[in-house]
A and B are shown apart, each in its own frame.
Chain A
Amino acid sequence: MIEETKVLTSRIHKKDSHTLESYREDGGYEAAAMALAMDPDEVTAIVKDSGLRGRGGAGFPTGLKWTFLPKDRDFTYLCVNADESEPGTFKDRVILDLDPHLMIEGTVISCHALKSEHAFIYIRGEFCRPYRRLVAAVQEAYEAGILGDNVLGTGRKLDITIHKGAGAYICGEETALLNSIEGLRGQPRIKPPFPTNHGLFGRSTVINNVETLANVPVILKEGAEVYRSRGTEKSPGTRLFSVSGHVERPGVYELEHGVSFKDMLNDICGGVKGGRALKAVVPGGSSVPVLTAEESMKLQMDFESCQECGTMLGSAGVIVMDETTDMVWALDKLTHFYAHESCGQCTPCREGTGWVAELVHLINQGRAKSADFDKLIDLGTQICGNTICVFSDAVFMPVMSYTTKFRSEFESKLIDSAPVHEKVGA
């Protein structure tokens, strides 16, 4: 029987956990005080040694990213990505809502390491209570001298500006996020140049996810070595898993990287809902390839194992689907989402996602022919690889994996399919 390892979430069940007072009772901002006494490069080195990897989706080593900043930069921004919009992912919301100071402390420390005097927090527009709490927490931090012109009495400067999104999944993509702050359309930028060289308002910029930054105070407090003792060699530390769909106890759970999916499902989440059989699992947010029940039983929840399994850990949004699930219907839901969320600038993505959604919908409604299904598969590859951002891959991966792994379900819905397949699902 496994249990949660509550490192980042150790406080969230406390009363008023979102306040500065409560945060300070638990030793809040001590790590920041410690870090600010150190040389910035030393702080970066510790984060690098910890092996911390980005929690926003790509899993890029955080310390390494920080070292990409050019030495001769004139001004540096840190942008905190709190746009959490990947379907199946809802863990940043928990931090923002229940322990915003943890993330703010992570921001204070990181800004010191990056020599940044201004951080933006880009928060998803729909997050209302988390927004109010974040605003209040930043206010508290200013009043307590944690932010402002004399950060924790060190004479250093740091401002945090909260920028509220307004309903656009694509603004979670880091360069779209920058454009959105700049008052441009929230469309991803062509890379290169990369944000570390040419980011917000043309300045050197680092973008990190909320959860990534929430790890930073922990790392500073307990040291890289202790931090590394949790998780796996290449995916150190704990992870906030958002579990949704057909499980008995959905929710956000903090577990060590490398935990087996099976244990997580059964021990933590109470198993598949109603004791039904498992059919499919999306382990890392809606954009990663789906796994069959069989594949998922061998899965460990860390970056490498997911990759070996032909999928990705992504944002650790785990969507569980039981035997009653109609996989065509499921893909219909997802492709509808992507068609709605394409920023629309690249031809293949703008036109292709709409087309894909339409074909999947036709199939789901039983109005499509086998040529339509073939076209759908073609479209998957046509959209991918020739676009400004990887949103197109995020469409491609579900389409290809659902249609390959659950092909018969699709075929059985085609008008001109040979009636050899049983109709599966609801």
Chain B
Amino acid sequence: MATTEKTEVKFSEARKQEIERIRGRYETPRGLIMPLLWMIQDDYGWISYDAMELIAGECETSPAWVYSIATFYTMFELEKPIRYHLQVCNTLSCGLCGSESILAHLEDRLGIQAGESTEDGRFRLTAVECLASCGTGPMMQMNDEYYESLTTEKVDAMLEEWNCD
């Protein structure tokens, strides 16, 4: 950790207390891996290799094991965070309601393909699988929030807002 110039990853005092509170809830130290991955992601926006080593230490496991868990799931951000991560659901129900045209519209407006990020690193566009909001499709998740019953007009309005920020 000391050899890199990156910001040092650590758990704040408040986090440490929180960790001690939940530690007893898991019968094995490994059980804390996902909660700790979330804490790091919530605090830093992403999970660096240094963070994985930190977590491994807390969970009495190897960094490799933490890496294996982190890559199993799709929500853990293992690259530098993006200001706006647009995740458009492209599974069947949303598809029936026109998710493909929303996706195409976003690709067009942002000038990137799904799976890519804009050059300024502000936007990333991802086609994701069903987000359990099929009744209000097409929909997308932007960072933490759901945006439902999308139309191209709605999408344009959102982009307008986010672009000004």
Contacts and interface: CB of A to CB of B under 8 A. Distances in A.
A168 B74 contact: yes
A90 interface: yes
Interface centre among A88, A183, A185, A243, by most B CB within 10 Å? A183
B92 A85 contact: no
B40 interface: no
A168 B72 contact: yes
A317 to B, nearest CB: 7
A166 B39 CA distance: 12
Interface stretch (A120-128, A231-239, A414-422): A120-128
Interface in B55-92: 59, 61, 68-69, 72-76, 90-92
A321 B31 CA distance: 42
Interface stretch (A48-56, A157-165, A188-196, A219-227): A157-165
A180 interface: yes
Nearest to A187: B72
A184 interface: yes
B93 A183 contact: no
B38 interface: yes
B59 A161 contact: no
A90 B129 contact: no
A322 to B, nearest CB: 8
B73 A166 contact: yes
B132 interface: yes
B37 interface: yes
Given A166-B76, A183-B69, A337 B132 contact: no
Given A89-B132, A125-B75, A161-B22, A183 B96 contact: no
Main secondary structure of the interface of A (DSSP, over half): mixed
Q: Which of B33, B59, B129, B145 has the most CB of A within 10 A?
A: B129
B131 interface: yes
A40 interface: no
Interface stretch (A4-12, A104-112, A246-254, A257-265): A246-254
Interface residues of B, number: 43
A182 B73 contact: no
B136 interface: yes
Interface string A298-328: 0000000000000000000101110001000
A185 B68 CA distance: 7
Contact of B61 (A87, A93, A183): A183
Interface of A: 84-90, 92-93, 118, 124-129, 159, 161, 163-169, 180-186, 201, 203, 242-246, 250-252, 282, 286, 317, 319-321, 325, 329-330, 333-334, 337, 340-341, 343
Top 8 A-B pairs ranked by shortest CB distance?
A: A183-B30, A167-B74, A166-B73, A244-B134, A167-B75, A244-B93, A183-B33, A87-B130
Interface of B: 22, 25-35, 37-38, 59, 61, 68-69, 72-76, 90-93, 95-97, 129-137, 141, 144-146
24 contacts: A88-B92, A88-B130, A88-B134, A92-B132, A125-B73, A163-B34, A166-B34, A167-B74, A167-B76, A181-B34, A182-B30, A182-B31, A183-B69, A185-B72, A201-B27, A242-B135, A244-B96, A246-B96, A250-B136, A251-B135, A286-B92, A330-B95, A330-B96, A340-B129
